[in-house]
Structures are given as C-alpha cells and as structure tokens.
Amino acid sequence: EAWVSYNTRYPMPYRSSGSPSNLWWSRAVGPLHLISLSSPLTVQAGSLQHAWLVRDLAAVDRAATPWLVVMMHAPWYNSNSGHAGEAELMRRDMEPLLFEAGVDLVLSG
C-alpha cells in the first residue's frame, strides 16, 4: 500500500526541504535544523534518502540554525535483545554523515 494511509494522515513538510518523500524531511524551527529520517526504508549510499541527507546536511547554515537535531524511529544503539541490530544498516550508512556534520542531538526509539 506504499504508505498511503500514513502519508494521508501525517503530511510532513518534505517538499520545502527538497525531499522526494513525505517519509524523510527537514525544517528550520527557530535556532535548530530538524531532520526526520525513515528507519525502515533503504538508506545505503546512492539511495534516495541517503542522497537527500547528504544534500540537506551540506546546506545547513549553522549561523542561522546552530543546533542540528535528527530524529528517527529505530535506535542505532539499544539493549533490547528483541530489537538488537534492527537499525544496523542505517547506522553503518548514515552515522558517519551525522558525525561529520556535527549533529548535536539524535532522538530515536
């Protein structure tokens, strides 16, 4: 069903951030640049989400939005054995980008 119900119920500001999908987006909120990522979708280099994240991080103006916050559903690190390694592919492919960009806070779970 390609996320039809979710996209209808929860419209996100994806177009204004240049994202091709309602499932990942960014927005300036006062002094922070907020990025929302989609854990269950393809994230490796060359994927739509990964390519968008690279572009979005490169465009962040830390003078205008000094705080960089990223949020996603699945945590990259957790002690829950029922979900161990659930987001390992995302962590492997995106964590270096977030470190390099100097992300201040990651919210997940």
Domain ranges of the chain: 30-108
According to the model, what pLDDT value does residue 109 have? 82
Tokens 């960009």 locate to: 101
Instruction: Return d(Cα 38, Cα 41) in angstroms, integer.
Output: 6
According to the model, what pLDDT value does residue 1 have? 61
* Sequential pLDDT tens for the chain (109 residues): 677 777 677 778 888 899 988 889 999 999 999 999 998 888 899 999 999 999 999 999 999 999 999 999 989 888 888 878 888 889 999 999 999 999 999 999 8
Element (H, E) at 62: none
According to the model, what pLDDT value does residue 58 have? 97
Q: Is 33 a catalytic residue?
A: no
Q: Within 13 Å of residue 70, how many CA atoms lie on the same side as its CB?
A: 23
Instruction: Return d(Cα 68, Cα 86) in angstroms, integer.
Output: 24
Whether the Cβ atoms of residue 31 and residue 78 lie closer than 8 Å to each other: no
* Bridge partner residues of 70 (DSSP): 35, 106
In degrees, rounded to 5, the angle at the alpha carbon of residue 97 between the alpha carbons of residues 12 and 15 is 20
